[in-house]
Amino acid sequence: MHTSKLVNQLAPSATIAAAAKARELRASGVDVLEFTLGEPDFTTPEHICEAAVAAMKDGHTHYTPATGLPALKESVCRAFARDYGVEYTPAEVTVSNGAKHAIHNVLTACCEPGDEVIIPTPYWVSYSALVELVGAIPVLVETTEESGFCMTADQFRGAITAKTRLLMLNSPSNPTGSVYPVEALEALAEVAVEKDIIVMSDEIYDKLIYDGYTFKTFASFGQEVRDRTIIINGVSKAYAMTGWRIGWTLAPENVSKAITKLQSQQTSNPCSVSQFAAMAALDGPQDCISEMLTQFQSRREYVLGRLRAIPGLSFADPGGAFYAFFNVSSHFGRTLPGGASVHNSSDFCTALLENAHVALVTGDAFGAPGFVRLSFATSMDIIEAGLNALEGFLAE
Q: How many domains does the chain have?
A: 2
In contact, 131 and 137? CB cutoff 8 Å: yes
The residue segments making up the domain with residue 346 are: 5-43+288-395
Q: Domain ends where: 236, 262, 284?
A: 284
Would you give the end-to-end CA distance of the chain in angstroms?
48
Non-local (6+) Cβ contacts of 328 within 8 A are 312, 313, 345, 348, 370, 371, 372
- The 3-state DSSP class for residue 73 equals helix
Residues 268 and 295 in one domain: no
Q: Say how far apart CA 276 and CA 379 lie, in whole Å.
A: 29
Residues 272 and 292 in one domain: no
Q: Quick count: other Cβ atoms within 10 Å of Cβ 88?
A: 21
pLDDT at position 28: 79
What is the maximum span of the chain, computed from C-alpha positions, in angstroms?
63
DSSP string, 323-341: EEEEE-GGGTTPBPTTS-B
pLDDT at position 338: 62
Q: Say how far apart CA 267 and CA 104 lie, in whole Å.
A: 13
CATH number of the structural domain spanning residue 247: 3.40.640.10
Q: Say how far apart CA 249 and CA 256 lie, in whole Å.
A: 8
pLDDT at position 336: 73
Distance of CA 14 to the CA centre of its chain: 13
> What radius of gyration do the chain's Cα atoms show?
21
* 279 inside domain: yes
Residues 175 and 259 in one domain: yes
Distance of CA 2 to the CA centre of its chain: 33
CA 207 vs CA 36, 87, 179: distances in Å? 21, 18, 12
Q: Say how far apart CA 293 and CA 290 lie, in whole Å.
A: 5
* 212 inside domain: yes
Q: Say how far apart CA 279 and CA 74 lie, in whole Å.
A: 9
In contact, 101 and 234? CB cutoff 8 Å: no
CA 142 vs CA 14, 130, 162, 323, 367: distances in Å? 20, 19, 20, 19, 8
Low-confidence ranges of the chain (pLDDT < 50): none
Q: Domain ends where: 268, 284, 300?
A: 284
Q: Which of 335, 258, 284, 229 is nearest to 45 (CA)?
A: 284
Residues 141 and 103 in one domain: yes
Q: Say how far apart CA 65 and CA 386 lie, in whole Å.
A: 46
CATH number of the structural domain spanning residue 338: 3.90.1150.10
Per residue in 9-20, pLDDT tens? 777 776 677 777
In contact, 76 and 92? CB cutoff 8 Å: no
Its pTM stands at 0.95
Per residue in 167-200, pLDDT tens? 999 999 999 999 999 999 999 999 999 999 999 9
* 168 DSSP β-pair partners: 200
Q: Domain ends where: 284, 311, 335?
A: 284
CA 27 vs CA 22, 30, 72, 216, 332: distances in Å? 9, 7, 41, 43, 30
Per residue in 328-380, pLDDT tens? 999 999 887 666 788 999 999 989 998 899 999 999 989 999 999 999 999 99
